[in-house]
Structure 1
Amino acid sequence: MTDAELDTLGPVDFVIVEFPAGEANFSGEMAAELVRLVEEETIRLIDVLILTKSEDGSIDAIELEDVEQLGPLARLEGELAELLAEDDVERLAAAMEPGSVAGVLVYENTWAAPFASAARRAGGQLIANGRIPIQAIAASIAADQQA
């Protein structure tokens, strides 16, 4: 990426979607929704990997370009930067259960890019970010309702 591209880059996140052995489904509704998010410029996809973790813990990483049946994801394949390195793959796969398959998405939050760029021009820098899992929010609401 050029300096100009980095200056306008929004926050970059990753997400891992895990499927039990034999139940991976990277097409259909999930793929269509990902394509919609990219086409509406809500996110910019930077990298996509499919990880397989065998029962013995060995990991196989497949780039999207190496998948034969991409379905709607075929429209996105040519724009990927393939940012993730081998040590990244090992760290990401550590969260997976043996025998599972996972999709890893690295994406820019393009909706936040203008704010992030303005913050950098003002001399600020992002020093932390995080996510609150939906399960934690649901548990908190349930606890409040019981109290």
Structure 2
Amino acid sequence: MTTTDTPTATRDVSGPIDFLLLEFPRDRLTGEAGSALMDLVERGLIRLFDLMVISKDDDGNVEVLEITDPMSASGGFAYFSGARSGLLGEDDVAEAAGAMSPGTVAALIVYENTWAAPFVAAARESGGEVIASARIPATEVMAAIESLEPTS
């Protein structure tokens, strides 16, 4: 697994670094998301810095789950055991838990978009600097595209 084996700070160029909090209903955990994330790492599209699995029970109690046991609620993420760079801490867990609904499990992920590094390098070489950046949720883009399509 490629996680933090080459720290970004020691490389000349890195892709954008993102965090993602992905919440799952407990009764719909299939492991498919873990497999898809593993594929992204193995193909070198992302570099995983941190992955924490957080559980929030119906009473609001929060627990960070160990992701080494394939039979646990986080079993689909067992491949990523040890994916901790130290970037995420207790404050991040508390903030994530505050955003979670009771009775759910969430994956808190920090990753680099390594696929973008060649573009970043080319832009830097040409004197380019990021002066604005935002993530647009895919659901909003799809809704906008659908509203532009002619109706039959």
TM class by shorter-chain length?
A: 0.7 to 0.9
Question: Are the aligned partners of 1:24 and 1:101 in contact in 2 as well (CA < 8 Å)?
Answer: no
> Quick one: structure 1 residues 4 and 124, their matched pair in 2 at CA, closer, same or farther if it must change by over 3 Å?
farther
Return structure 1 stretches of 4+ with deviation > 6 angstroms.
none
Aligned residue among 52, 57, 60 for 1:54: 57
Question: Are the aligned partners of 2:55 and 2:62 in contact in 1 as well (CA < 8 Å)?
Answer: yes
Deviations 1:19-59 (A, max 9, x none): 12x325262x3222211111110001110011112334342
1:17 aligns with 2:18: no
Q: Distance in 2 between matches of 1:124 and 1:62?
A: 42
User: Paired residue for 1:111?
Assistant: 115
> Quick one: structure 1 residues 40 and 2, their matched pair in 2 at CA, closer, same or farther if it must change by over 3 Å?
closer
TM-score by length of structure 1 reads 0.75
> Quick one: structure 1 residues 127 and 87, their matched pair in 2 at CA, closer, same or farther if it must change by over 3 Å?
farther
User: What do you get for the CA RMSD once the two structures are aligned?
Assistant: 2.9
Question: Are the aligned partners of 1:35 and 1:72 in contact in 2 as well (CA < 8 Å)?
Answer: no
What fraction of aligned residue pairs are identical, expressed as a percent?
A: 42
User: Paired residue for 2:4?
Assistant: none
User: Paired residue for 2:3?
Assistant: none
Deviations 1:61-90 (A, max 9, x none): 2353xx311767444434542420111122
TM-score by length of structure 2 reads 0.73
> Quick one: structure 1 residues 87 and 72, their matched pair in 2 at CA, closer, same or farther if it must change by over 3 Å?
closer
Q: Distance in 2 between matches of 1:49 and 1:56?
A: 21
Deviates more, 1:115-124 or 1:134-143: 115-124
The answer for unaligned runs of 5 or more in structure 1 is none
